[in-house]
Structure 1
Amino acid sequence: MADVILYRWSTERDTWVSASEVEEARAYLARQGITTSALPDGRFALAGESARAFGAERLVFLGLQQLRGTRSA
């Protein structure tokens, strides 16, 4: 799914993500030891970082960064 998202973002110049993509990113981050929680306003918080909130696109981007790091390691 990561390749599909990156392709869409690069060709359409749109960073929209679906609810299923967000949930997949959250599950991937959880497997990497990064716990997320949904906030009432639709954004997400990372465990231990109560001062920052991420939108859905940024959360998926964080997951993609983590994935890229594991692929190149």
Structure 2
Amino acid sequence: MLVINAFTTNAVLFASLLLVIGVPVLYMTQADPSDRRNGNIKRIEILGGVWFHLVLIQAIVGEYVTHQTFGL
């Protein structure tokens, strides 16, 4: 159980690292910053969506592991 929780926690941390480094890089490398629908903006939105879902999954798995481990 704790391995599953550790795996999901590490996935969230890795996705957060990608967002912290990737978002500024993608913004700086845009050809036209005024274009709101270019490819870099779409990539940032996709990374944000993946991160959000990983956080939800980690919360569900963490809650399940807590209930299994401590019998709450």
TM-score scaled by length of structure 2: 0.35
Richer in strand (by share): 1
Question: Looking at both structures, which has the greater relative contact order when contacts are Cα pairs under 8 Å and sequence separation is at least 6?
Answer: 2
TM-score scaled by length of structure 1: 0.34
Q: Which has the larger radius of gyration?
A: 2
